[in-house]
Chain A
């Protein structure tokens, strides 16, 4: 069903005394539009309250100059409604939250992302749909998301009851909302992952991989695996005890490692068997696939009397020419014989070929493989097993006593298999959490930040450990190659913005000057070298640089006014704010490397200062 116009929605809610309300909408734009429209259509006639809002705003700007003359100011004062989403700067969001808790607003139009983190309750929460908007389309809301939203309904001490109202909307689904409201909260799922920073810091602290690994294996992610490993180890020990007592009882001087040796050979044989075709048909098909090729004559059916010259092969299908010259298509399965000569595929040669096969067919037919040939390798493996057994059983024994020992050894096989399975499985589980760290250790070693064999962090790695930025290795390499010591602060700010910004967010297409383009090119080149090494070690590629962020950050660092920047980039204030604020933080990090990279650090400080100015604090 179509959505109610925002003013009509608020009027309806008001008639049931359900205001103030938070109306959740799928996009930022819709929030802004709805607030503006509601304010236009539904003017608050309470003059005192309007004045109170105006006073509140004027009071607020004395401490938060950045919200002065905000484009939504009028919406708030006249309509008593506001929009609240990540596109707004923090100062503005704070203003809205304060207005709401002062009871001066009737409604906030907000995106679902707002539900997390910030706390501004209302009497009523309105859901216009059961779906959430993603970058590429729509998906269903999760139970946790819905519960985050409904968590805003009902103000403690101010409401006896809170309401969630499902309102008409194109993506509305009341049944689904009922289900989500009833759903149990989602479990907390670990997102533990390896990072260069964690690895460098822990290795520098402990001085060996074993202890770093111990820490990593404490992760919540590894907990389930760890519990499984404990069970597997118990299983392993149990089986080992059984094997030991069996072998001791046999009194042949056999040990557990003999039982494991046998298991290894047997499992090797089993693997061999699995890889090999088991039936005659399988064997035949594999062979046909190999030998049936253009220019060869084949016989069709069991008898193999009807002859076909193969013209073309396509997977399991064969195109050919019959003796009468007509073409035919058939499957490999229908071929009963293959003759060895390969003839040229020319018309006059074809009939000669058929003639030759008819006369000398018996001597020219290719021998079919037999299952036994395949089994030969297997019997080799059996010999190996035999040899192994005789090597571990005492040579001086009588045949009968010897047979008993062999039997005792064979009888341990099921336990040895279970034991080895437990060992292998727990190794796999153990590696899962550690592997990504080891890969990163090797990459760091490649670039000289870590001594892999010596299990220690190098001098260079020590300052990298202190550098808490996105993609520290790339930034480290840029520093190490002197790139950051030779550029001015605006360019450094721009490079770090390109690195820090969300990959796919647009901050306008401001022109980049030539020197910045050159620097970004050099930085990309370094990034390519790092990514190549990472890729070779199986580390997934990092996101690309955001040049549009670089342009915006360069203008800002060069001293543009905030309003000018917002106008020029046409980006949302909140996005610009976040990007610049994170860029500033990254610059502060580089600024901290006074000892290792004094020159770059100095430039970074200057850059940080020019980025972290009002309203980007």
Chain B
């Protein structure tokens, strides 16, 4: 018998596939029927679990499916976008894209336009697919180094380099960048050694009339970063951070060579003393072996 599967019996496992719940990243992808089948492992029995291991694994499993409800920080970001630039810092998977998508939806429905930039061609392609499924193919265009489709669409998805190049062109007397919102996804790429300068140029050269939405991984100096954006653009830039940092709580475990699982830390957040002791023993043994040689 397997343990801890969210209190559900084996027969119910099929229902683990969420119904009606929106996964904000993969909603566009075709879902085959069934399929979160059991993790199969017939040979081994789980090792006897200590109290602390049971506590470590408590609550593991799939939550009951609930209708999608936006997080307060997502709504806060949307509200702020009404009158200022917004920098959202939150870990991947916590719903930054949802904010961008809802804002884009609002704009498109009002006959306005948006640009969505991402650092990688693969990401750009998948966003193009995602937004086309969401808003309809006619509403979305794509511009990358080797792909140009529907470039007059109200929503343009493209690499940050292409967006920056358009800013250069418009400065040099070319066509204005025709957008009311620019989303800079993965804005922390600004710190990329090779390409980071492109993000800075994009931020500096985006006309202040265009609203900026920056989506970034968690960074240590979000306030500073936003302060800089405010200075160079002369537009207020709010910082929205997801409180509690992670959308799904994280627990840290340590797997021993004998396959016992134990918490990596004690309640005080320090290395589990049992692991520390084991490490010490190993270190001593290594030293002894070395001396014996």
- Using a CB–CB cutoff of 8 Å, the interface residues on chain A facing chain B are 1-2, 4, 8-9, 11-20, 42, 44-46, 48-49, 52, 55-56, 59, 80, 90, 93-94, 98, 101-104, 106, 117-119, 121, 123, 126, 144, 147-148, 150-168, 174-175, 177-178, 181-182, 184-193, 195, 198, 201-202, 204-206, 215, 218-221, 223, 465, 468, 581-582, 584-585, 588-589, 608, 612, 617
Contact between B275 and A117, CB atoms less than 8 A apart: no
Besides A2-B257, A157-B18, 11 other CB < 8 A contacts? A11-B41, A17-B61, A46-B37, A148-B92, A150-B250, A153-B250, A166-B264, A186-B219, A201-B172, A220-B200, A617-B146
Q: Can you offer 23 A-B residue contacts whose CB atoms are under 8 A?
A: A4-B255, A11-B41, A15-B2, A17-B4, A17-B61, A90-B121, A103-B36, A119-B92, A147-B217, A150-B250, A151-B92, A155-B248, A156-B23, A156-B94, A156-B247, A157-B66, A158-B62, A165-B255, A166-B264, A177-B264, A187-B224, A204-B172, A205-B173
Which of A11, A157, A204, A205 has the most B CB atoms < 10 Å from its CB? A157
A545 to B21 CA separation, bound complex (whole angstroms): 51
Contact between A187 and B146, CB atoms less than 8 A apart: no
Contact between B255 and A12, CB atoms less than 8 A apart: yes
A98 to B26 CA separation, bound complex (whole angstroms): 8
Q: Given the interface contacts A159-B62, A187-B224, A581-B146, does A178 sit within 8 Å of B271 by beta carbon?
A: yes
Which of B5, B36, B37 has the most A CB atoms < 10 Å from its CB? B37
A585 to B259 CA separation, bound complex (whole angstroms): 49
Q: Given the interface contacts A117-B119, A192-B200, does A187 sit within 8 Å of B23 by beta carbon?
A: no
Select which of A15, A202, A584, A612 is within 8 A of B45 by beta carbon: A15
Instruction: Tell me the nearest residue of chain A to B66, going by C-beta.
Output: A157
Q: Given the interface contacts A56-B32, A154-B246, does A15 sit within 8 Å of B41 by beta carbon?
A: yes
Tell me how far the C-beta of A94 lies from the nearest C-beta in chain B, rounded to whole angstroms.
7
Whether a CB of chain A sits under 8 angstroms from the CB of B193 is yes
Whether a CB of chain A sits under 8 angstroms from the CB of B78 is no
Q: Given the interface contacts A102-B35, A175-B279, A186-B219, does A118 sit within 8 Å of B247 by beta carbon?
A: no
- Using a CB–CB cutoff of 8 Å, the interface residues on chain B facing chain A are 2-6, 16-18, 21, 23-26, 29-32, 34-47, 53, 57, 59-63, 65-66, 91-95, 119-123, 125-126, 145-147, 161, 165, 168, 171-173, 186, 188, 190-194, 196-197, 200-201, 204-205, 216-221, 224-225, 228, 231-232, 246-257, 259, 261, 264-265, 269-272, 275-276, 279, 282
Contact between A117 and B248, CB atoms less than 8 A apart: no
Select which of A80, A90, A166 is within 8 A of B252 by beta carbon: A166
A218 to B248 CA separation, bound complex (whole angstroms): 38
In the complex, what residues of B have CB within 8 A of residue A59's CB? 30
In the complex, what residues of B have CB within 8 A of residue A19's CB? 39
A84 to B76 CA separation, bound complex (whole angstroms): 36
Contact between B121 and A581, CB atoms less than 8 A apart: yes
Contact between B42 and A218, CB atoms less than 8 A apart: no
A574 to B2 CA separation, bound complex (whole angstroms): 39
Contact between A11 and B44, CB atoms less than 8 A apart: yes
Contact between B36 and A185, CB atoms less than 8 A apart: no
Contact between B29 and A98, CB atoms less than 8 A apart: yes
Tell me how far the C-beta of B233 lies from the nearest C-beta in chain A, rounded to whole angstroms.
9
Contact between B171 and A201, CB atoms less than 8 A apart: yes
Instruction: Tell me the nearest residue of chain B to A21, going by C-beta.
Output: B39
A56 to B30 CA separation, bound complex (whole angstroms): 10
A16 to B126 CA separation, bound complex (whole angstroms): 34
In the complex, what residues of B have CB within 8 A of residue A164's CB? 250-253, 264
A422 to B186 CA separation, bound complex (whole angstroms): 39
In the complex, what residues of A have CB within 8 A of residue B173's CB? 205
Tell me how far the C-beta of A472 lies from the nearest C-beta in chain B, rounded to whole angstroms.
12
A155 to B6 CA separation, bound complex (whole angstroms): 15
**7 nearest A-B residue pairs (beta carbon):** A154-B248, A585-B145, A191-B196, A103-B36, A205-B171, A187-B220, A187-B221
A14 to B41 CA separation, bound complex (whole angstroms): 7
Contact between B251 and A162, CB atoms less than 8 A apart: yes
Tell me how far the C-beta of B286 lies from the nearest C-beta in chain A, rounded to whole angstroms.
10
A332 to B68 CA separation, bound complex (whole angstroms): 86
In the complex, what residues of B have CB within 8 A of residue A155's CB? 93, 248
Contact between B254 and A468, CB atoms less than 8 A apart: no
Instruction: Tell me the nearest residue of chain A to B252, going by C-beta.
Output: A164
In the complex, what residues of B have CB within 8 A of residue A106's CB? 39-40
A488 to B18 CA separation, bound complex (whole angstroms): 56
In the complex, what residues of A have CB within 8 A of residue B40's CB? 14, 44-46, 49, 80, 106
Tell me how far the C-beta of A418 lies from the nearest C-beta in chain B, rounded to whole angstroms.
27
In the complex, what residues of B have CB within 8 A of residue A119's CB? 25, 92-93
Tell me how far the C-beta of A116 lies from the nearest C-beta in chain B, rounded to whole angstroms.
8
Which of A101, A160, A175, A581 has the most B CB atoms < 10 Å from its CB? A160
Contact between B253 and A121, CB atoms less than 8 A apart: no
Q: Given the interface contacts A177-B264, A191-B197, does A151 sit within 8 Å of B93 by beta carbon?
A: yes
Select which of A16, A153, A219, A612 is within 8 A of B46 by beta carbon: A16
Contact between A163 and B253, CB atoms less than 8 A apart: yes
Contact between A117 and B186, CB atoms less than 8 A apart: yes
Contact between B220 and A184, CB atoms less than 8 A apart: yes
A166 to B193 CA separation, bound complex (whole angstroms): 30
Contact between B190 and A188, CB atoms less than 8 A apart: yes
A101 to B93 CA separation, bound complex (whole angstroms): 13
In the complex, what residues of B have CB within 8 A of residue A221's CB? 200
Contact between B23 and A191, CB atoms less than 8 A apart: no
Contact between B196 and A101, CB atoms less than 8 A apart: no
Select which of A123, A161, A195, A201 is within 8 A of B249 by beta carbon: A161
In the complex, what residues of A have CB within 8 A of residue B188's CB? 188
A170 to B259 CA separation, bound complex (whole angstroms): 16
Instruction: Tell me the nearest residue of chain A to B194, going by C-beta.
Output: A191
In the complex, what residues of B have CB within 8 A of residue A206's CB? 171
In the complex, what residues of B have CB within 8 A of residue A121's CB? 93
Contact between B250 and A160, CB atoms less than 8 A apart: no
A159 to B171 CA separation, bound complex (whole angstroms): 48
Contact between B219 and A185, CB atoms less than 8 A apart: yes
Contact between B31 and A102, CB atoms less than 8 A apart: yes
Select which of A46, A147, A189 is within 8 A of B191 by beta carbon: A189
Tell me how far the C-beta of A15 lies from the nearest C-beta in chain B, rounded to whole angstroms.
4
Tell me how far the C-beta of A56 lies from the nearest C-beta in chain B, rounded to whole angstroms.
6
Instruction: Tell me the nearest residue of chain B to A20, going by C-beta.
Output: B39
A609 to B59 CA separation, bound complex (whole angstroms): 55
A144 to B191 CA separation, bound complex (whole angstroms): 12
A148 to B173 CA separation, bound complex (whole angstroms): 41
Contact between B122 and A160, CB atoms less than 8 A apart: no
Tell me how far the C-beta of A589 lies from the nearest C-beta in chain B, rounded to whole angstroms.
8
A126 to B221 CA separation, bound complex (whole angstroms): 29
Contact between A160 and B248, CB atoms less than 8 A apart: yes
Q: Given the interface contacts A11-B41, A44-B40, A588-B145, does A223 sit within 8 Å of B248 by beta carbon?
A: no
Contact between B38 and A46, CB atoms less than 8 A apart: yes
Q: Given the interface contacts A148-B217, A188-B220, A220-B200, does A45 sit within 8 Å of B42 by beta carbon?
A: yes
Contact between B197 and A192, CB atoms less than 8 A apart: yes
Tell me how far the C-beta of A202 lies from the nearest C-beta in chain B, rounded to whole angstroms.
7
Tell me how far the C-beta of A105 lies from the nearest C-beta in chain B, rounded to whole angstroms.
10
In the complex, what residues of A have CB within 8 A of residue B282's CB? 1
Tell me how far the C-beta of A468 lies from the nearest C-beta in chain B, rounded to whole angstroms.
6
In the complex, what residues of B have CB within 8 A of residue A190's CB? 190-191, 196, 200
In the complex, what residues of B have CB within 8 A of residue A144's CB? 217
In the complex, what residues of A have CB within 8 A of residue B172's CB? 201, 204-205, 465
Contact between B197 and A585, CB atoms less than 8 A apart: no
Contact between B255 and A166, CB atoms less than 8 A apart: yes
Q: Given the interface contacts A17-B60, A190-B190, does A195 sit within 8 Å of B197 by beta carbon?
A: yes
Q: Given the interface contacts A16-B57, A177-B264, A205-B172, does A101 sit within 8 Å of B200 by beta carbon?
A: no
Contact between B91 and A468, CB atoms less than 8 A apart: no
Instruction: Tell me the nearest residue of chain A to B47, going by C-beta.
Output: A15
Contact between B254 and A165, CB atoms less than 8 A apart: yes
Contact between B251 and A161, CB atoms less than 8 A apart: yes
Contact between B35 and A103, CB atoms less than 8 A apart: yes
Tell me how far the C-beta of B133 lies from the nearest C-beta in chain A, rounded to whole angstroms.
14
In the complex, what residues of A have CB within 8 A of residue B204's CB? 215, 218-219
